Amino acid sequence: MKETIFNYLLSVKEEKGAGYIVLIDPDKNSEKKLEEKISKINQSGVDAIFVGGSLILDNNCEKRVAMIKSLSELPVIFFPGGISQLNKHYDAMLFISILSGRNPHYLIGEQVVAAPIVKDLGIEVIPTGYLIVDGGSNSSVQFMSGSNPIPIEKPDILIAHALAAQYLGKKLVYLESGSGAKNPIPNQLVEAVNNYIDIPIIVGGGVRTPESAYEKVQSGASFIVTGTVIEDDNTNIIKEFADAIHRS
């Protein structure tokens, strides 16, 4: 099998039961903090790094991504907040379509603009169906993408979207409650989706404790993403997350 980042992720799932991915927002991290954070990530059993944010407030995104790449001992995967964050330093990217929304720009518009640049840069793409689920607070991604989240009391709607993502040929489904969400996606919803689809599920948004991450894995998540909880100086918790996610 060709050695790709996607195959690496599949092998993590195969060997460890599930993977732990840390999200770094290239907007919020000073260069000094980045160094400390990535050194901690390298030593804590994390499987990959996602880089991206809904909005970048300066012109230093590429510089920070280059820095993350040079410091990281793990694959650095672009988790796109928009084409302005695209550059040559990523090992792969989630080629995301926000299937839960009905905004054509994030269903296909942004992807068309990005595709030729991605080809030119030679970045591996991982087709990903992105489903925004209500996390109990207004999320940046919801606002920036102009899309309504799927209500958590409507599991059938979520299941149908996840199945559609699979039938559209996506390799991953991302169940996103929004960065800093009040509530992470309920375990029963992860389980319900997992009972319907065969492709791996990524869960992110509002996961704040290793125990909660463990429960999502037990419910069928293949990858857990945390961002907010490891921002600031809370880096000691990274290893606890990795251990809990790999415990299953």
Please report, as ranges, the residues that interact with ligand 1GP according to CB under 6 A: 23, 176, 179-181, 204-207, 225-229
Tell me if 105 sits within 8 A of 82, measured CB to CB: no
- Which of residues 67 and 230 has its CB atom nearest to ligand 1GP in the complex? 230
How far separated are the first and last CA of the chain, in Å rounded?
26
Q: What is the DSSP string of 115-173?
A: HHHHHHHT-EEEEEEEEEB--SS--HHHHHHT-PPBPTT-HHHHHHHHHHHHHTT-SEE
As measured in angstroms, the least distance from the Cβ of 155 to ligand 1GP is 20
Q: What is the CA radius of gyration of the chain?
A: 16
Reading phi first (left if > 0) and then psi (alpha if -120 to 50, else beta), residue 190 is in alpha
- Which of residues 150 and 207 has its CB atom nearest to ligand 1GP in the complex? 207
- Which of residues 3 and 138 has its CB atom nearest to ligand 1GP in the complex? 138
- Which of residues 6 and 20 has its CB atom nearest to ligand 1GP in the complex? 20
9-46 as b/e, with b when 16 or more CB fall inside 10 Å?
bbebeeebebbbbbbbbbbbbeeeebeebbebbeebbb
As measured in angstroms, the least distance from the Cβ of 37 to ligand 1GP is 14
- Which of residues 111 and 179 has its CB atom nearest to ligand 1GP in the complex? 179
As measured in angstroms, the least distance from the Cβ of 119 to ligand 1GP is 25
- Which of residues 26 and 206 has its CB atom nearest to ligand 1GP in the complex? 206
For ligand 1GP, the nearest residue by Cβ is 204
As measured in angstroms, the least distance from the Cβ of 47 to ligand 1GP is 15
E strand map for 160-220:
172-176, 201-204
As measured in angstroms, the least distance from the Cβ of 137 to ligand 1GP is 10
As measured in angstroms, the least distance from the Cβ of 203 to ligand 1GP is 8
